Amino acid sequence: MFTPEPDALLPALTAEQELVLLARTLWQEGYDDHLAGHITYKQSDGTFLTNPWYLLWDEFGPADVVRIDIDGNVLEGKWPPAPGVHLHLAMHRVRDDVTVSIHNHPRWATVWADTRRIPCILDQSGALGGGKVVVVDEYEGTVAAEEAARSAVTAMGDADIALLAGHGVFILGPDLPRAHLRAVSFAERCHRAALVEGLGGAQELHPEVSAMLGTAEFDGFWEAMARKELRRDPSVLQEKER
């Protein structure tokens, strides 16, 4: 089997550059609710890289990335982290298996969260990335409040995707490519399920097929979408002074 060299798919990237590309690729997929949303990317030293508050996901660059500790203290960076990062930190305290966590209010996932229902898997695109999905109907205010964040994480349990009722979506991954694939696929799943339901519904994929697709690695997907973003904005990896 042909396996390309890593630098044939993407140039060597710093963790900060990876976070920027993740945010920008997901923005293009509908994770674009204005200033809302936050990502954490756990590092080997136990710190976390996160997007800065005040800047949009398609706006911030590597120099704007913030490094925080498990208590949310800023260790590096000139911006504050997003207020809702407490949701991520509460989760990281109890889930060692998670490297990347993503929260935002993508339109179609939020529609399903508002209905407090999990959309069916109807096709291949909606099955990729896998993960256990739950509805967390524990909305007690924004996750900027630490108690509300802890309640949401407790209710989520060992799930990989949470539809936060009246709020949005929270997606976890063991690494960046898996988190990206899971986020993109779940957005597709939510969108198509809403459209199909409007047409009267359809038969869900057989669970064995969904499970098989959900465990597929889909090598190269993250890199392809990152390259697409680099073509769209060749300056995305540059350090820029604001």
Tell me what pLDDT residue 216 has. Answer: 86
The CATH number for 12-231, chosen from 3.40.190.10, 3.40.50.300, 3.40.225.10, 3.30.499.10, is: 3.40.225.10
Where in the chain are the domains? 12-231
**Which band of pLDDT confidence, cut at 50, 70 and 90, is reported for residue 192?**
very high
Q: What is the mean pLDDT of residues 46-53?
A: 98
DSSP string for residues in 156-174: HTT-SEEEETTTEEEEEES
Q: Taking a C-beta distance cutoff of 8 angstroms, is the pair 194, 108 a contact? A: yes
**Which band of pLDDT confidence, cut at 50, 70 and 90, is reported for residue 151?**
confident
C-alpha closest to that of 52 among 65, 70, 39: 65
Q: What is the mean pLDDT of residues 150-177?
A: 95
Tell me what pLDDT residue 139 has. Answer: 59
Tell me the H-state helices in the chain: 6-9, 15-28, 86-94, 107-115, 124-127, 146-156, 176-198, 207-214, 221-232
Q: What is the mean pLDDT of residues 56-80?
A: 97
Q: Taking a C-beta distance cutoff of 8 angstroms, is the pair 66, 76 a contact? A: yes
The pLDDT > 90 percentage for the chain reads 83
Mean pLDDT, the chain, integer: 93
Residue 238 has pLDDT above 90, yes or no: no
List pLDDT tens digits, range 106-115.
999 999 999 9
For residue 203, which amino acid is it?
Q
**What CA–CA distance (Å, rounded) separates 74 from 221?**
32
Residue 121 has pLDDT above 70, yes or no: yes
216 CB-near residues (< 8 Å, 6+ apart)? 128
Tell me which H or E stretch contains 54. Answer: none
